């Protein structure tokens, strides 16, 4: 999930817990303490992305793939990070006020920071990039495949309540700019249909009006309920679309073994989805992309937009489309090629600890290995050149279970 959404989530948590505290104690948070808590909650909600300092941005692609959303995106690290941040903030408050926060306020702050760091994992899980939150007990990736990585509806349902609750003019201006930016992008980005942009705009107006008429407790409850509702509606749309894809594959090729269906809703749209299937038919490995409608009687799949970067290097699929599933690209290869590459190349095995939808092409003594989720050989950030045969492993390869362990059949080999 993008960091603006994580920050908004941190502010929503801070305001909701402030309202709970006020109801329990009968007292509002002191202004300075409340501001410190809100800022710290935003930091906590973004803290797991501290791995960017060592995974890098725009540097070594393989290192970024393996270490972003890595160790810091686990329950263990999130709890430890929240506790460390709580100690630092407590020391800051001691320095500032010459007194340790009261026991009740101290516990309240710790609970807020724990909620903030853990919220990051939950939000990142909801999209198709995934996390592996239960390391070191479970090294598998977990994918929610339910919410687009930048979902403007989450801003629409929550930002107006935060603007109404804020006592800082600067905060109100910045939050309002976030809301306006979300609406502006919705009208300009091709991936957002005109119908979705209109609905977003109407929803924003209703959300602003609701925030104005509700009392403080009511508006933050409305924001929380709205956030959960958006996620559940997107998840329901994704589940319906996945079922439509599986039915279509079974009808077209009953012998095909579907290993995975990667779902990603279009921004601001719970009806139109982008799908990538990972299949195996005997010795053949197949990847297909599709536009899928979760409600084809209302919006046929042919009217849904397609994410431009997904499967950009695939050839056209010959599968017949339906109202629910509009097939896009297709790519096939002998599955033993990938199995051999992983057995003989430690860098390839390392890359496969991230790649969920592999696509590969020989290039002399090396192989271009990519992930169709991000282009697959079309210049995506997950495209890496690996030696065809190499026992030299990249440094500090994490233990993540390859998402396509069901395809590789490489046993228990580790880099």
Written in H, E and C, the secondary structure of 325-336 is EEEEEEEEEEHH
Task: Give the DSSP per-residue string, 174-188.
Answer: HHHHHHHHHHHHHHH
Evaluate if residue 58 carries a pLDDT over 60: no
Where residue 61 falls among pLDDT bands split at 50, 70, 90?
confident
CB atoms within 10 A of CB 313: 18
Q: 337 — phi, psi (to 5°)?
A: -60, -45
274-321 tens-digit pLDDT: 999 999 988 999 999 999 999 999 999 998 877 666 656 788 989 999
| Residues with Cβ within 8 Å of residue 115, at least 6 apart in sequence | 13, 17, 44
Chain position carrying tokens 């896009």: 328
Percent of the chain whose pLDDT exceeds 70: 94
Where residue 31 falls among pLDDT bands split at 50, 70, 90?
confident
Predicted model pTM = 0.91
CB 280 within 8 A of CB 256: yes
176-229 tens-digit pLDDT: 999 999 999 889 888 888 888 899 999 999 999 999 999 989 999 999 999 999
d(CA 365, CA 315): 25
Where residue 362 falls among pLDDT bands split at 50, 70, 90?
confident
Evaluate if residue 33 carries a pLDDT over 50: yes
Q: Which of 48-57, 73-82, 146-155, 359-368 has the lowest mean pLDDT?
A: 48-57
**How many residues does the structure list for the chain?**
415
| Residues with Cβ within 8 Å of residue 76, at least 6 apart in sequence | 135, 136
β-pair partners for 341: none
Residue scoring higher pLDDT (258 or 382) = 258
Task: Give the DSSP per-residue string, 346-362.
Answer: HHHHHHTTT-SSEEEEE
Residue scoring higher pLDDT (38 or 102) = 38
């Amino acid at each position: 999930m993008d960091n603006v959404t994580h920050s908004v989530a941190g502010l929503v948590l801070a305001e909701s817990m402030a309202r709970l505290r006020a109801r329990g104690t009968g007292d509002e948070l002191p202004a300075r303490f409340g501001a410190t808590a809100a800022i710290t909650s935003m930091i906590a909600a973004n803290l797991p992305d501290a791995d960017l300092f060592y995974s890098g941005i725009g540097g070594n692609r393989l290192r970024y793939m393996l270490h972003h959303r890595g160790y810091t995106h686990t329950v263990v690290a999130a709890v430890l990070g929240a506790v460390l941040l709580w100690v630092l903030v407590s020391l800051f408050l001691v320095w500032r006020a010459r007194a340790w926060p009261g026991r009740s306020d101290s516990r309240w702050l710790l609970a807020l920071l724990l909620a903030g760091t853990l919220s990051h994992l939950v939000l990142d899980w909801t999209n198709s990039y995934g996390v592996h939150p239960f390391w070191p007990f479970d090294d598998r990736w977990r994918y929610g495949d339910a919410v687009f990585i930048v979902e403007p509806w989450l801003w629409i349902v929550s930002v107006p309540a935060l603007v109404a609750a804020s006592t800082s003019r600067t905060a109100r201006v910045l939050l309002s700019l976030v809301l306006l930016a979300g609406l502006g992008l919705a009208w300009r980005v091709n991936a957002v249909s005109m119908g979705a942009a209109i609905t977003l705009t109407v929803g924003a107006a209703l959300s602003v009006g609701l925030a104005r008429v509700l009392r403080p407790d009511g508006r933050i409850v409305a924001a929380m309920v709205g956030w959960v509702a958006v996620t559940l509606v997107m998840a329901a749309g994704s589940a319906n679309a996945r079922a439509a894809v599986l039915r279509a594959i079974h009808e077209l090729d009953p012998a095909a073994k579907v290993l995975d269906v990667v779902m990603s809703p279009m921004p601001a749209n719970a009806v139109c989805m982008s799908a990538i299937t990972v299949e195996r038919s005997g010795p053949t490995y197949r990847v297909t992309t599709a536009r899928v409608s979760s409600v084809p009687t209302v919006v046929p799949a042919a009217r849904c937009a397609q994410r431009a970067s997904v499967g950009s290097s695939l050839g056209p699929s010959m599968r017949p489309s339906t109202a629910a599933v509009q097939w896009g690209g297709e790519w096939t290869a002998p599955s033993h090629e990938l199995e051999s590459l992983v057995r003989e190349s430690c860098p390839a095995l390392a890359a496969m600890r991230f790649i969920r939808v592999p696509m590969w092409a020989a290039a002399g003594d090396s192989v271009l290995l990519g992930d169709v989720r991000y282009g697959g050989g079309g210049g995506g950030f997950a495209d890496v050149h690996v030696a065809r045969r190499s026992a030299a492993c990249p440094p500090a390869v994490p233990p993540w279970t390859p998402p396509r362990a069901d395809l590789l059949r490489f046993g228990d080999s580790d880099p």
